[in-house]
Amino acid sequence: MPADRTALSWTSAQVLTDVRRKASLPTTSTDWTDAVVLREATDVLWNFAGWALAQGGEGRLLDSLSRPITSALTGPFTAGSELMLPPLAIAASVETVTWTNAEGQIESRLSRIDPADQATYTTPASEGSPVCYALLGDRIRFYPRPSSGGTVRITYQRRHPELVTDTTANVGALNTFVAATSTTTTITHGMTGGPAVGDALDVLVSYYPYAPVATNIEVTAAPSPGNATISIPVAQLTGFDTARIVKAGTSPYVHFPLELRTCVVEKTAANILRTLGDMQGMQAAEQSATMELARVMQMLSPRSKRDKPKAINPFSIMRSGMGRWRW
């Protein structure tokens, strides 16, 4: 990580250190292991900090999933006219769905239809360039069925990934990557025990702000330990030689603003202290978290726009009349 960005880092290891110090939890605790503490912190990110940021118009984690449509898109649903939504997509939070033709020259935005109106549209079994879509639970259905050669891109709001420890069982370095086909890439990685065929991966930049390069990538082949073929073109990884791979929906980094660090730590400690029965410590931490959240939200809220005050010159001749000043 560049030295000038070290202070901006916020990792799961730092969350563990801060929460254990605040809640006076020993590292040798058999009940409050690292995984349990991080799960509690993830719940805070989902139910406390994430909600607050969304209300303030900040911290909306937008992401996009690009899926090339080939003849292999037969799918288990409606003759290949449906795709599963990404695992981190929040319900009804799909922002846009676009279709790019096989030549990559024309991109059109699809319109969304109500599931109750599907009967009036062309059956999904017909094939061509899709013009609209409908959301059905955890799936998205296209009308008509996408023809081969194009690309569907789904832009959506996602929830924060689940925090995990930065170990080789959860995170691996993206060592090398070469093109396998026009739409797949063969990689070597440092993750132990996987990934296996059918698993989904996320690729993250290994320095602040740890932005995702690609999400919900399917593993199509794993010929040997440390090697895998993933379902994205090699061009999508070009320039990210120091990237890291994780299981889809997890991350060893916190992807929220640093200003929320104290708030998240206090709230996580309060939840743990409540479970331990330390009501006095819980109340103190809860109060501190609430006050800190209010302070951060005030800072992140857009400043109110005010009309510029009029500049009045009391000595202007326009303000005088009949030899008397008008004030």
pLDDT at 74: 44
At position 71, the amino acid (one-letter code) is S
Do 141 and 76 belong to one domain?
A: yes
**Distance (Å, rounded) from C-alpha 128 to C-alpha 121?**
14
pLDDT digits (tens, 9 = 90+) for 85-105: 777 776 667 878 888 887 777
Do 172 and 247 belong to one domain?
A: yes
Do 216 and 287 belong to one domain?
A: no
Do 56 and 69 belong to one domain?
A: no
Domain assignment present for 318: no
Sign of the CA dihedral running 213, 215, 219, 223? positive
Place of tokens 């676009």: 98
Do 29 and 49 belong to one domain?
A: yes
pLDDT at 268: 94
CB neighbourhood size of 112 (10 A): 13
Choose the final residue of a domain: 232, 251, 270: 251
Cβ 232 vs Cβ 253: under 8 Å: no
What is the block-wise mean pLDDT of the chain (327 residues), using blocks of 10 residues?
60 93 89 92 85 56 70 49 74 79 80 77 70 82 79 81 90 86 85 84 82 83 85 82 86 85 92 92 91 80 54 61 51
Domain assignment present for 289: yes
Omega of the bond prior to 124 within 30 degrees of 0, cis? no
Do 270 and 242 belong to one domain?
A: no
- What range does the domain containing 130 cover? 62-158
Do 71 and 149 belong to one domain?
A: yes
Choose the final residue of a domain: 134, 158, 182: 158
pLDDT at 320: 57
Q: What stretches of the chain show up as alpha helix (H) in DSSP?
A: 12-23, 34-44, 50-55, 261-276, 279-300
Domain assignment present for 139: yes
Task: Give the residues across from 250 on adjacent strands.
Answer: 162
Domain tally, the chain: 3
Cβ 264 vs Cβ 15: under 8 Å: yes
What b-and-e string marks burial along 282-313, b requiring 16 or more CB atoms within 10 Å of the CB?
Answer: beebbebbeebbeebbeebeeeeeeeeeeeee
Do 124 and 36 belong to one domain?
A: no
Cβ 261 vs Cβ 10: under 8 Å: yes
Domain CATH code at residue 219 = 2.40.10.170
CB neighbourhood size of 100 (10 A): 19
Choose the final residue of a domain: 251, 286, 316: 251
pLDDT at 313: 65
Cβ 275 vs Cβ 47: under 8 Å: no
Domain assignment present for 311: no
Do 231 and 278 belong to one domain?
A: no
Do 112 and 145 belong to one domain?
A: yes
Which tokens sit at 189? 């990685």
Domain assignment present for 197: yes
Cβ 226 vs Cβ 188: under 8 Å: yes
Domain assignment present for 1: no
Cβ 164 vs Cβ 250: under 8 Å: yes
Domain assignment present for 321: no
Do 50 and 85 belong to one domain?
A: no
pLDDT at 308: 55
Domain assignment present for 68: yes
Which tokens sit at 282? 């819980």
